[in-house]
Structure 1
Amino acid sequence: MTSAILGAGTPIGAGPGALTIGVEEEFLLLDPDTGANRPVAGEVVAALPDGMRAQGRLEVRRSMVEMVTGVCTELPDLRSQLVSLRRAAAGAADDLGVRLVALGATPVGESDPSVPDQPRYRAIADRFGPVAGDPAVCGLHVHVGIPDRELAVQVSNHLQVWLPVIRALTGNSPLFNGADTGHASWRSVQLLRWPGVAPTPWFDSAADYDRTVADLVVSGVLLDPAMVYWYARLSPTYPTVEIRVNDVCTDVDDTVLAAALVRAAVATALTDIAAGRPAARVRDCVLAGAHWRAARDGLTHTLIDLRLGQARPAWDLVNEFFATVSPALLHTGDLDLVVNGLARLRERGDGATRQRETYRRTGHLRAVLDDVAARTTQG
């Protein structure tokens, strides 16, 4: 995460158009012949163009790189940055004989489980053992600027009921060990081995949030506050709420759609807070179940309506989510983009559906990876 995603955010009296946004995308580095992960992330980051090297990041797996946008207020600017960063990273990877792909989970295998040679990553490997050697998974993290931490905690409470829907819109990791897992987002399931990954708990205040994080660090559950990987968290460094439920999207337009919806959900939460409307409280086990259902089926079956406590057709719930956030989308001028993006998803399916269709049509995993690699850098 760079200091570029510091966005000043907006006080509660300002319009949602003032909300800043920044995106982090994680990518896999694959062998172009076998599809297996290749541990060359350090070399890829070093090979980035001078103007973009500072926006490249290493992760706990040496077969993945993260690219980070700057602060944006307009989605066309965000999209332009995303395309440029993807193409730069793909070019650096290609020069090293590897393929950069936007996939949520390792499709074939991870032959080298070693972590980058940095003190924090070595400490993570020592603390968490084989979990730190799990095959790489790649997410899309959306930051929305909210400098008031008390307000940010309230926003996180309000987002709880909609985050499974946001997760379902970006399922893009059906493959693992060369086979279909039956899940739209295997990444979501795989990450649950980490103790810091979970639906965001309900907090009464920023002090309550900070005490909980401190307790988890003192107990040894987490190495440091940065290992809080709740689905919506207060950034430990920057004045943002960070939404972490999404798989990285193969198509850049799906990334922009997810970012638009996340920002609109945050803006809608701010409106509800200002109006004194309370957030719905959901039992932790029900919340976890709703996220599992979203990871399992994506948009193809049902999602759990956490307001009603019942399963409903996925697209019915997506439509209600859209209706809820549409005033915020209208305010920022993003309504048409989201309408068109949701229509595209309804017609073509999520990333997992598209991967399965390619596999059914060709019968070859290589064809799936070829298609994903090509679409990763399309503008």
Structure 2
Amino acid sequence: MSTSSTGPVVRTFGVEEEFLLLDPRTAVNLPLAAEVAGRLPPPLRDRSRPEFRPSMMEMVTDVCTSTEELSQQLRAGRGAAAEAARQAGAALIAVGATPVAEADPQTAAATDLRFRAITDHYGPIARDPALCGCHVHVGVADPDLAVEICTRLRADLPLLQALTANSPLSLGTDTGYASWRCVQLRRWPTVGPWPHLRSTTEFERTVAALVASGDMMDDSMVLWWARPSRSFPTVEIRAADVCPDPDDTVLLAALVRALVDTAAHTPAPAVPDVLVNAAHGSAARYGMSGTLLDAHTGRARPAWDLVGALVDRITPALRRHHDVETVTAGLHRIHRDGTGAERQRRLLAEGLSIPRTLARVSGTQ
């Protein structure tokens, strides 16, 4: 972490959130992203981004320094997008995977050359139902340090995935997984844990080899759970489902910032790829509802014990960024109310329909 004459410099951060546009009555995906974006007020239209599916909408924050600032931007973005969706006849839903059906399986390839190239390269995989994640960027100016941080975080990201699990449904039924998004994404060749890389030279050499193999279309398709951003001097963490509530997103962002800040000063643990992959599989299946594989030790532990150990380790960074209370309150809320997947299952068990359940969990009803 950089310092100045007045003390430590706070690491900046920002968030990208992806949402589904669903039929309020049937929860079937609606390809209305262009219309909804056009209905946003001009200041917030600049914070929307076209996505791979016309039934998806992305809203981004500006660069922030505090969780209070981040929370305000997230709420403003979600509120404006939800109202624009309502005007277009859709519901803006924060859920990680298509819950019922993608009525129009086409991508946005017709209007975007890059999306067309992705669809041509990856074929049927690119036509899978839409998925929505939450990506957190944390400022890291040194490119080599950014690569090192991605390597040092490999064993920690499964727990963030479990905390944000918010996609139990597919084809209108419960999949048995807390995060079906993470299961579905395994079909993509270059989605998953960051490899054990130690420098930008090694990173660039690895990417070039994957492009040469055909597994990666080009260097824009580095889609690992962690990566140095191509556009900003940041580390981008991509393992989370989109969170059901802005407060959950703020919690995730605070945890990610503290993890990145801690990893900037901590040697990379030697964690075998097989354990990292298994830990992500455990997180996708169970979320926070039981035990999870601890990739650091190779042993199963109660999920909330892993949270306690993580918080103990990153507390100095949380204190530096004045985020201890935010994280404590956020974790208490998830422990009490459940993850997004647990909230959906609880409402469905009470007899709510899928559309009403998704609207309730996303705060749009």
TM-score, L = length of structure 1: 0.93
For the Cα contact (< 8 Å) 1:359–1:367, is it kept in 2?
no
In structure 1, the partner of 2:184 is 190
For the Cα contact (< 8 Å) 1:52–1:85, is it kept in 2?
yes
1:292-351 deviations in Å (ceiling 9; x for gaps): 101110101111112211111111111100111111111111101111111111111111
Distance 2:101 2:297 in 1: 40
For the Cα contact (< 8 Å) 1:250–1:376, is it kept in 2?
no
Distance 2:200 2:293 in 1: 28
> What RMSD in Å do the two structures reach over aligned CA positions?
1.5
User: What SS does structure 2 have at the residue aligned with 1:304?
Assistant: strand
Matched, 1:285 2:274: yes
Matched, 1:359 2:348: yes
For the Cα contact (< 8 Å) 2:20–2:93, is it kept in 1?
yes
1:110 corresponds, among 83, 102, 105, to 102
Distance 1:376 1:24 in 2: 19
1:370 corresponds, among 356, 359, 363, to 359
2:318 corresponds, among 306, 326, 329, to 329
Shift of 1:224: 2.0
1:173-197 deviations in Å (ceiling 9; x for gaps): 0011110111111100011111110
Distance 2:260 2:8 in 1: 8
Matched, 1:11 2:2: yes
Matched, 1:34 2:26: yes
Shift of 1:33: 1.1
For the Cα contact (< 8 Å) 1:142–1:243, is it kept in 2?
yes
Change (3 A) 1:368 1:72: same
1:108-148 deviations in Å (ceiling 9; x for gaps): 10011111121111111111111111100100000001010
For the Cα contact (< 8 Å) 1:183–1:296, is it kept in 2?
yes
For the Cα contact (< 8 Å) 1:265–1:325, is it kept in 2?
yes
Distance 1:343 1:59 in 2: 33
Length, aligned pairs only: 362
For the Cα contact (< 8 Å) 2:94–2:243, is it kept in 1?
yes
Matched, 1:74 2:95: no
User: What SS does structure 1 have at the residue aligned with 2:224?
Assistant: coil
Distance 1:253 1:376 in 2: 15
2:297 corresponds, among 289, 308, 311, to 308
In structure 2, the partner of 1:5 is none
In structure 2, the partner of 1:139 is 133
In structure 1, the partner of 2:147 is 153
Matched, 1:222 2:213: no
2:89 corresponds, among 82, 89, 97, to 97
Paired amino acid for 2:331: L
Distance 1:138 1:240 in 2: 21
Matched, 1:344 2:333: yes
In structure 2, the partner of 1:6 is none
5+ residue gaps, structure 1, are 1-9, 273-277
Distance 1:66 1:189 in 2: 21
1:37-91 deviations in Å (ceiling 9; x for gaps): 0011111112211111121111111100100100001110000000000011111
Change (3 A) 1:72 1:280: same
User: What SS does structure 2 have at the residue aligned with 1:52?
Assistant: helix
Distance 2:194 2:329 in 1: 30
Change (3 A) 1:162 1:376: farther
Distance 2:355 2:39 in 1: 26
In structure 1, the partner of 2:175 is 181
Distance 2:298 2:4 in 1: 33
Shift of 1:369: 2.2
User: What SS does structure 1 have at the residue aligned with 2:301?
Assistant: strand
Shift of 1:12: 7.6
5+ residue gaps, structure 2, are none
TM-score, L = length of structure 2: 0.96
Structure 1 segments of 4+ aligned residues over 6 angstroms from their partners:
12-16
Distance 2:89 2:317 in 1: 44
1:45 corresponds, among 37, 44, 55, to 37
Matched, 1:233 2:249: no
For the Cα contact (< 8 Å) 2:340–2:361, is it kept in 1?
no
Distance 2:72 2:226 in 1: 25
In structure 2, the partner of 1:204 is 198
Q: How does 1:119-138 map to 2 (within 5 A)?
A: 119-138=113-132
Distance 2:316 2:292 in 1: 23
